[in-house]
């Protein structure tokens, strides 16, 4: 804005004002921007601190809960003197872990126990060697069946007299007797004497010895039940027996008998799988829900299979001495995604196995307390392996820490999901600051602009005033000086004849007229400047305006060197105008046409009407106006060629007055000119109604 003001030397003082104004605008703006920046940074920092504090607290809380949870899990696998199978169904039902090993305080493994460990004297009896020879070597099933039967009968006979035979061991004990009966049944079945085989096998399968404390006997009874199931499965007449035998087999799985003895784990697992197979194949058993202690048999089987796979590796609790108790650690196994947890109590040592999936599920709640739309968490184990969360986080964690005492060196990290959430969280406040700041800056700039404009206007007015005074003084002085010289000459009597006196007086009159015109123009301009030119608008005939203007210049134009033509039709539509003001406009234009024409003047005033408007055109064949000056000739005090204008008695106000008047009438004034060929000024006014 200061650029637009062409300050001359007089307005040097305004440079100061403008500079001060610029400082007054720029300085607070810069300060405000700086404060805004600081406030925004501060806001971001405060919000980050709040979020970090909140999540640190939450992490602490979640860590305590995780500790409690893992302590509960440890207690759950603790042995309570009951048979391990009683705990197993419970552990599997609660889904706390994926496999378990239990040891007594001496280090002996209580679960899973293998048949080789449970029944070290369980081999076949020598007494039955001849029958075995016949069955498996000679394949004489009939002979073998007979032999087995004899052994069984003799064993039964002996046993009846067992009480009398104190101190003398019977040739066949319970196991031998059961082996003989099973052998007999087996051979009968081979001979397709299935009914007989079933009859013999039933004696073993439902023997009251099942409630005793002998693991070997228990295994044989279970085996007999399995054989029975195989033989009776597809035979309708044995429907009841099939049911009974199947229930009997299920009753032996994953639970101890009344004497507190259970099948060894490997045998138990084998029988359980067989039971599932048979149930799957038999239409009669298919509808049975295979559950033990409310837990699906399938889950128990999977659990036991995993436990058995682990049993070889940790035969005694001493194999686990290196493990820190109650700490979840990765198990170095082929499958890396497996963890172990050792728990020691007064009565037992338990080692639980957790798959990565189980650990993730166990951590679900822990993770859930952080994971939101905006925040995601990442957990790594003590070996740095990823458990949950993104592989490669895009940002740095804003909170990180350990997970709890039971998961040593495990680590949780919290990230913002998308971009900087802090930015979003702080966004609202920042937006308020930014808008307020922007508003204040805009207000400062606006007030600066208004002030600068006012100052600019003042400077411009001042310059105008100075120009005006200079021009007025000069323009008034010229005619006054020539009049004084003429009057002095006449007064002093320096004239030749009366004709010269008349000439001088005419000259004086001409200068006087010029002076009056000048003063008229100055007064109009002055009124215009003060905006006090009040126009008296009324419907007026354009022809009257044109005739009056032609009349006004008539005397001046009435000379041989000047050809003045008018084309004024009488049927023109009226215009709403102040006739005197319009005459002034036309006289100014005609005057200029005269002034800026050379010796041979040809001036035309033409009035036409077209498309609801009336046009007054003043043409001359004068000097014309240079192209670059065309736009500026309507400005105050502008003169295209000062020397020419001076000679032509102008002061640069005529056209600006004309435009002011035409603007007030809602019309337009245009000029077309060719330097050296003449100009045409066209005034257009809207026709009335």
Closest residue by Cα to residue 341 from 381, 298, 389: 381
Q: Is the Cβ–Cβ distance between 188 and 149 less than 8 Å?
A: no
Please identify which residue in 250, 592, 605, 667 interacts with ligand ADP, judged by CB under 6 A: 592
Residue 479 lies near ligand ADP (rule: CB under 6 A): no
617 near ligand ADP, judged by CB under 6 A: no
Joined together, the tokens standing for residue 137 give 């070597």
605 near ligand ADP, judged by CB under 6 A:
no
518 binding ligand ADP? (CB under 6 A): no
φ, ψ for residue 413, nearest 5 deg = -130, 135
Q: Which stretch binds ligand ADP (CB under 6 A): 120-128, 391-399, 436-444, 651-659?
A: 651-659
Q: Report CA-CA distances (Å) from 474 to 9, 469, 648.
A: 21, 8, 14
Q: Which two tokens stand for residue 520?
A: 């008229």
Written as six digits, the tokens of 98 are 């994926």
How far is the C-alpha of 118 from the C-alpha of 108, rounded, in Å? Answer: 12
Examine residue 653 and tell whether it contacts ligand ADP (CB under 6 A): yes
Binder to ligand ADP among 221, 320, 575, 640 (CB under 6 A)?
640
Do the Cβ atoms of 345 and 374 come closer than 8 Å?
no
| Helix (H), strand (E) at residue 518 | helix 498-529
Q: How far is the CB of 679 from ligand ADP (least distance, A)?
A: 4
Judged by CB, which is closer to ligand ADP: 120, or 598?
Answer: 598
Q: Which stretch binds ligand ADP (CB under 6 A): 30-38, 206-214, 256-264, 592-600?
A: 592-600
603 binds ligand ADP (CB under 6 A): no
Q: Is 652 in the site for ligand ADP (CB under 6 A)?
A: yes
- Which 8-state DSSP code applies to residue 336? S
Stretch that binds ligand ADP, among 196-204, 333-341, 484-492, 647-655 (CB under 6 A): 647-655
- When binding is defined by CB under 6 A, the residue of 651, 662, 683, 685 that contacts ligand ADP is 651
Task: Extract the tokens encoding 233.
Answer: 């499965």
What's the rounded Cα separation, in Å, for the pair 130 and 127?
7
Would you say 430 or 623 has its CB closer to ligand ADP? 623
Segment contacting ligand ADP by CB under 6 A, of 3-11, 196-204, 526-534, 615-623: 615-623
Using CA atoms, how far apart are residues 336 and 330, in angstroms rounded to an integer?
7
- For ligand ADP, the binding residues in 209-228 under the rule CB under 6 A are none
Selected binder of ligand ADP within 623, 661, 662, 685 (CB under 6 A): 623
Residue 188's nearest CA partner among 141, 235, 132, 222 is 141
Pick from 171, 159, 261, 271: nearest CA to 210? 261
Residue 630: other Cβ atoms inside 10 A = 15
Q: Which is nearer to ligand ADP, 90 or 641 (CB)?
A: 641
Question: Is there binding between residue 645 and ligand ADP (CB under 6 A)?
Answer: yes
* In the complex, residue closest to ligand ADP by CB: 650
Binding residues for ligand ADP, rule CB under 6 A, total 24
Any idea what DSSP says for residue 324? P
Q: Does 641 participate in binding ligand ADP (rule CB under 6 A)?
A: yes
Which residue from 196, 212, 155, 211 is spatially nearest to 179, judged by alpha carbons?
Answer: 155
- Under the binding rule (CB under 6 A), the answer on residue 660 touching ligand ADP is no
Residue 593 binds to ligand ADP (criterion: CB under 6 A): yes
Give me the residues that bind ligand ADP (CB under 6 A), please.
588, 592-593, 595-596, 620, 622-625, 633, 638-641, 645, 650-656, 679
């Amino acid at each position: 804005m200061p650029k637009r003001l062409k300050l001359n030397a007089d307005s040097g003082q305004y440079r100061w004002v403008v500079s001060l104004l610029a400082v007054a605008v720029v300085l607070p703006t810069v300060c405000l921007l700086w404060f805004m920046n600081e406030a925004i940074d501060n806001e971001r920092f405060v919000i980050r601190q709040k979020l970090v504090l909140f999540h640190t607290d939450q992490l602490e809380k979640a860590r305590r809960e995780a500790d409690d949870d893992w302590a509960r899990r440890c207690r759950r696998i603790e042995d309570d003197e009951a048979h391990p199978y009683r705990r197993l169904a419970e552990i599997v039902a609660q889904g706390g872990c994926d496999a378990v090993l239990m040891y007594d305080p001496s280090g002996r493994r209580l679960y899973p126990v293998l048949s080789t460990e449970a029944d070290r004297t369980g081999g076949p009896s020598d007494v039955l060697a001849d029958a075995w020879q016949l069955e498996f070597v000679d394949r004489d099933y009939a002979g073998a069946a007979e032999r087995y039967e004899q052994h069984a009968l003799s064993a039964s006979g002996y046993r009846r007299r067992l009480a009398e035979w104190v101190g003398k061991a019977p040739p066949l004990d319970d196991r031998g007797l059961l082996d003989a009966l099973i052998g007999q049944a087996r051979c009968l079945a081979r001979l397709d004497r299935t009914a007989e085989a079933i009859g013999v096998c039933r004696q073993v399968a439902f023997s009251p010895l099942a409630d005793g404390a002998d693991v070997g006997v228990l295994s044989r009874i279970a085996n007999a039940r399995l054989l029975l199931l195989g033989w009776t499965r597809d035979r309708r007449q044995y429907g009841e027996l099939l049911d009974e035998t199947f229930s009997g087999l299920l009753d032996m799985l994953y639970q101890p008998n009344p004497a507190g003895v259970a099948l060894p784990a490997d045998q138990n697992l084998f029988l359980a799988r067989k039971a599932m197979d048979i149930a799957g194949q038999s239409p009669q058993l298919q509808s049975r829900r295979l559950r033990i202690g409310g837990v699906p048999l399938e889950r128990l089987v999977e659990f036991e299979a995993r436990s058995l796979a682990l049993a070889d590796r940790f035969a005694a609790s001493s194999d686990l001495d290196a493990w820190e108790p109650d700490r979840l650690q990765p198990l170095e196994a082929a499958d890396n995604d497996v963890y172990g947890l050792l728990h020691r109590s007064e009565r037992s040592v338990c080692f639980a196995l957790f798959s990565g999936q189980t650990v993730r599920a166990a951590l679900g709640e822990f993770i859930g307390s952080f994971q939101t739309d905006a925040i995601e968490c990442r957990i790594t184990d003590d070996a740095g392996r990823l458990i949950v969360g993104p592989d490669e986080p895009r940002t740095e964690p804003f909170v990180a820490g350990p997970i709890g005492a039971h998961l040593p060196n495990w680590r949780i990290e919290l990230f913002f999901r998308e971009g900087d959430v802090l930015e979003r969280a702080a966004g609202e406040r920042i937006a308020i600051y930014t808008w307020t700041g922007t508003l204040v800056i805009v207000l400062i700039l606006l007030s600066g602009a208004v002030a600068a404009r006012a100052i600019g206007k003042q400077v411009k007015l001042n310059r105008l005033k100075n120009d005006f005074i200079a021009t007025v003084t000069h323009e008034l002085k010229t005619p006054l000086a020539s009049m004084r010289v003429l009057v002095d000459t006449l007064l002093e009597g320096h004239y030749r004849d009366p004709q010269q006196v008349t000439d001088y007086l005419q000259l004086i009159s001409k200068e006087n007229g010029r002076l009056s015109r000048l003063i008229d123009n100055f007064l109009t301009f002055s009124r215009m400047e003060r905006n006090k030119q009040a126009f008296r608008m009324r419907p007026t005939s354009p022809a009257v305006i044109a005739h009056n203007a032609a009349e006004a210049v008539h005397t001046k134009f009435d000379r041989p060197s000047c050809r003045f033509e008018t084309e004024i039709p009488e049927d023109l539509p009226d215009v709403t105008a102040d006739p005197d003001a319009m005459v002034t406009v036309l006289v100014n234009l005609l005057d200029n046409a005269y002034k800026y024409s050379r010796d041979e003047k040809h001036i035309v005033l033409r009035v036409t009407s077209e498309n609801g408007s009336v046009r007054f055109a003043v043409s001359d064949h004068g000097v014309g106006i240079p192209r670059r000056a065309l736009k500026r000739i309507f400005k105050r005090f502008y003169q295209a060629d000062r020397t020419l204008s001076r000679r032509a008695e102008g002061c640069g106000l005529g056209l600006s007055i004309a435009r002011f008047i035409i603007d007030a009438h809602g019309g337009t004034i245009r000029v077309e000119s060719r330097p050296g060929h003449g100009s045409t000024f066209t005034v257009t006014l809207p026709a009335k109604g």
